[in-house]
Structure 1
């Protein structure tokens, strides 16, 4: 049961979760993070650390597309293991619904 980063991370990209992950399974895109499902040990420490409440266990209903997105982009985006500043527009976009189609960027982030 890996954890999954979902819609509300887009254009927020808080990295509080990265700082507490014991296995460094987060990967950085230009405007969101993903979790590598094969590296996640299901410890759950990241979920309560996310200010945007964008991380859920993959057992939650309706997360299939997010599990696929996390798995696909974790293969091509760089690993991130240290906390960074959130995106400048994070407060503005926190809570905006349905950001995937209009705001998601497939471009990689900088990583560590």
Structure 2
């Protein structure tokens, strides 16, 4: 099991979670942060610092955001486990679920 970053993070990306993650497993896409399930050690340090309450333990993800479990897993299918987000910096793509999410309205 791992943690998942869900819909409230889309277009917010506060990044407080990144500062708390002891293993650097939270990667940045253009619209959302992603937790690499192969690198996450399930410590839970990221969850309480998220100001928009977007991070959930995988089994506790609200049903309305269940697709984000898939997004966080599939996001790393091609990328694999590079060994830390800091090595790569911000990535140029989002998972299609995130990329297709409605844009915020003014």
Asked if TM exceeds 0.5, the reply is yes
In the alignment, structure 1 segments of 5+ residues that lack a partner are 82-99, 105-112
Q: Would you tell me which structure has more helix in proportion to its own residues?
A: 2
In the alignment, structure 2 segments of 5+ residues that lack a partner are 87-99
RMSD: 2.4
* Equivalent position of 2:4 in the other structure: 4
Taking the aligned partners of 1:55 and 1:103, their CA distance within structure 2 comes to 20
* Equivalent position of 2:49 in the other structure: 49
Taking the aligned partners of 2:10 and 2:70, their CA distance within structure 1 comes to 16
* Equivalent position of 1:89 in the other structure: none
TM-score (normalised: structure 2)? 0.70
Say which structure, 1 or 2, has more relative contact order (CA 8 Å, 6+ apart): 1
Alignment of 1:7-86 (within 5 A): 7-60=7-60, 61-62=62-63, 64-74=66-76, 75-76=78-79, 80-81=85-86
More deviation, 66-75/8-17: 66-75
Runs of 4+ in 1 over 4 A off after TM superposition: none
